[in-house]
Structure 1
């Protein structure tokens, strides 16, 4: 178990802003910095009567866009497909809330 915790601690040392922002790339005389949404999680458990234990984890990365230099200033250029995919849950929840508000107002 101690080896597992040490391994997890070593993994988290690599997590942070460096995962969300990639290294700058010079493309056509323009500096471009990739930007992503990074999320991860893990869990574990133990059953004390039988001494069983288990755990797991996972994560995902969504490319949001790039920062690029325009006239010497940084400008964000979004990845429109990723932005639309990320907006689907927001629009769905907003639509459901609006439906409930309209039904409540009718009563």
Structure 2
């Protein structure tokens, strides 16, 4: 099983920057370079028994965060994907609120 996990890791490792930055796309007179945040996870397992029990799995997430935009006569600018930023910020704000409530309760004691 570890051989399979190593093989998968070797195939994913070289993807790197290519998975975070897409190919430039021409839209009218502008050039867009999409940007995303990606992460992968893989796991494997086995059992010492001789019945061949084992398991494995994997998964990936890609979050589009925006695009670099080059327009004629202007500098390269980054334009964020507002929907993705809101999607990510809502759980962060919720967790920060829970931590703040617990911190205030601890300081009152």
Query: Number of aligned pairs?
Result: 107
Higher strand share: 1
In structure 2, the gaps of 5 or more residues are none
Task: Kindly report the root-mean-square deviation, in angstroms, between the aligned alpha carbons of the 2 structures.
Answer: 2.0
TM-score (norm: length of structure 1): 0.86
- Partner residue, 2:59: 58
The ranges of structure 1 where at least 4 consecutive aligned residues each deviate by more than 2 angstroms after the TM superposition are: 1-7
Q: Distance in 1 between matches of 2:15 and 2:47?
A: 30
Structure 1 residues 3 and 49: alpha-carbon distance in aligned structure 2, compared to 1, 3 A threshold: closer
Q: Distance in 2 between matches of 1:10 and 1:97?
A: 39
Q: Distance in 2 between matches of 1:17 and 1:100?
A: 39
RCO higher in 1 or 2 (8 Å CA, sep ≥ 6)? 2
Q: Distance in 1 between matches of 2:85 and 2:14?
A: 26
- Partner residue, 1:82: 84
List aligned pairs for 1:27-106, cutoff 5 A. 27-50=27-50, 51-70=52-71, 71-106=73-108
TM-score (norm: length of structure 2): 0.85
In structure 1, the gaps of 5 or more residues are none
CA deviations on 1:28-64 (whole Å, 9 max, x unpaired) are: 1111100111111000001012332210000111111
